[in-house]
Amino acid sequence: MTDEQKQWITSTVPFLKEHGVLLTKHFYQDMFEHNPELKNINQYVFYNLPTTSERQEGILEGFLDINKIASLPQFPGTRYYVCGPSAFIQKQFQDLLAKGIEKRFIHFEEFGLGLLQLN
């Protein structure tokens, strides 16, 4: 990556810190609205400190904890996708296994070195 590219990316950080959550929310709303075939996708969002209105929208408080999801969908063929750093993925992977989810239905994308092997 060039110094110019690094500078450009760095310059977006303040904007994303302020508006990143809203951008992500609108992205998913738009995606689900324009792609009805995705209607069976469930999304669970956790914020460390959600506002009152965010809680009313269904945003859960704290770090992602699969045990806080009242009814984790387990329809035949349901797939589970987890994105994050290695330690985070390992925790979610173990929690999903403890809920009876088969390894073959758990997919992940690691942020970082990309060396994690779970499947």
Q: How confident is the model at residue 94 (pLDDT cuts 50, 70, 90)?
A: very high
pLDDT(59) > 70: yes
Assigned domain for 82 exists: no
Rounded to two decimals, what is the model's pTM? 0.58
Q: Where in the sequence is the domain holding 25, given as residue range(s)?
A: 1-41
pLDDT(64) > 70: yes
Assigned domain for 37 exists: yes
**DSSP state letters, 45-102:** -EESS--HHHHHTTPEESS--GGGSTT----TT--EEEEE-HHHHHHHHHHHHHTT--
Assigned domain for 22 exists: yes
Assigned domain for 2 exists: yes
Identify which has the larger pLDDT, 55 or 111: 55
Q: How confident is the model at residue 112 (pLDDT cuts 50, 70, 90)?
A: low
Assigned domain for 8 exists: yes
Angle at 98 between CA 97 and CA 100, to 5 degrees: 65
Assigned domain for 18 exists: yes
Q: Considering its fold, how many domains does the chain have in total?
A: 1
**Residue-wise pLDDT tens digits, 15-53:** 767 776 777 777 778 888 888 888 777 778 888 888 888
Give the helix/strand (H/E) hosting 108.
Answer: strand 106-110
Assigned domain for 104 exists: no
Q: What size, in residues, is the chain?
A: 119
